[in-house]
Structure 1
């Protein structure tokens, strides 16, 4: 069985408490001169989790995080600042703003919910996916360029078709060089890959970048694999939606949604 081994390294290097420098592994699929949103989204969660770990109080879990992508994500250093929008002991709302190349590029809001034992009523959702160790790796570089795509170990659960794919994604790279990141940050750092695994059209002919990513979680993901059960839909007026059931190796963990701007490549 083919088991890909990603090159060692990281997506980001820390500059100071709030600033980070991307490595070539973070380069994008639509434009290698841009940052792929997936590792940047994970970095924002990493900053949120560091913010939470540095303060006292009861444990609160991220139940939803929404990212608005405000413009081009240059492959340049970024600064992330976190503030509390709505404080609370059992429900809280945080906001993180990532500034890239001197301007706000991503605004994220995370709802935090109290950690309680609800195992007696837990249930619902899809079944488990075929485990990744039983599947072969398939490179995505035959469809997409960029350092981020090249860094992935991607294992399809079944043959993909236009607008539909179910895959496992993992990486051997650290999110930030020389420092551990939590399971959620490492997980979210791979979720934006969903928009590229089930291409409805050739990306050399059409574009469908997402302008947001919203992740809802009913439990905290665990392990090094992100499972993406993805459907891509294009409308007739320039909009599209990428919808994903999110998994880890124990089963479903939540859902992700991305709104797309669908347009022909320039010159076509």
Structure 2
């Protein structure tokens, strides 16, 4: 195990969110939620469920068309187990549910829709995003650094700046120690970042935790850089939506949404009802 560059001894490189112990996944300190040290952040939750959704045999003949995560409250920072079941096993489509459990209790789940691969017409999504290497590198927020494994290049706005945010992201980190994550898993990790990178308000005044993650894939991403184009909308009734567009250097590969729970932040003059 090598040490991280410019890191004190004891920090493994590449960084990882989990270590595997037989059928259990043991979260590391990097998986902790920035809001609650006893919980796991949404990105590591989504990425681990994506790891459990992969199937080499199925992926030879089927495309992942949708990945949807529901989080059942706070996912505790403790050993986790995953269970997979088929909800639909058709010739053209397959739907699987991956359930994440802590102490035998479901804490999150993902639904994965696969569609049989066929040669069909191409109608790409138009875009004018700049290439990642034409954009300067920026410091990532503490909760998104992954021990220095995540690189951020901001195109527009970004974390801590209210309004639409567009950023290129890349990571050399591992979701599970010793296992190189696929681009599908990396895409599911970064899909959690939309409500933070395209936040509607100042985080100190209003918090905006996401309750779910939905990604509709046009195709699987390629290359090392993942673009996130995010914007959050709210109607003043306690919740909102984050609209996300995902691209790589070849173009848009997916679109998605998150349901946002809105509540007064730590600097808000409003006090949450008892």
TM-score by length of 1: 0.87
Partner deviation per Cα, 1:1-25 (whole Å, 9 max, x = no partner)? xxx9996321111111x32111112
Q: d(CA) in 2 for partners of 1:222 and 1:146?
A: 21
Does residue 1:20 correspond to 2:25, yes or no? yes
State the partner residue of 1:138: 138
Show the counterpart of 2:81: 79
Tell me the TM-score normalized by structure 2. Answer: 0.85
Which one is further off, 252-261 or 128-137?
A: 128-137
Classify the secondary structure of the residue corresponding to 1:162.
Answer: strand
Partner of 1:62: 64
- Structure 1 residues 150, 261: closer, same or farther in 2, change over 3 A? farther
Matched with 1:155 is 153
Aligned residue in 1 for 2:47: 42
Q: Taking structure 1 as reference, are residues 99 and 173 closer, same or farther at Cα in structure 2, changes over 3 Å only?
A: same
What is the number of residues matched between the two proteins? 257
Task: Specify the alignment match of 1:127 in structure 2.
Answer: 127
Alignment-derived partner of residue 33 in structure 1: 38
Distance, in Å, in 1 between the alignment partners of 2:165 and 2:198 is 5
Number of the residue aligned with 1:167: 167
SS in 2 for 1:195: helix
Query: RCO higher in 1 or 2 (8 Å CA, sep ≥ 6)?
Result: 1
Change (3 A) 1:214 1:46: same
Q: d(CA) in 1 for partners of 2:151 and 2:59?
A: 38
List gaps (5 residues or longer) in structure 2.
8-12
Higher fraction of strand: 2
How far apart are the structure 2 equivalents of 1:186 and 1:5? Answer: 24
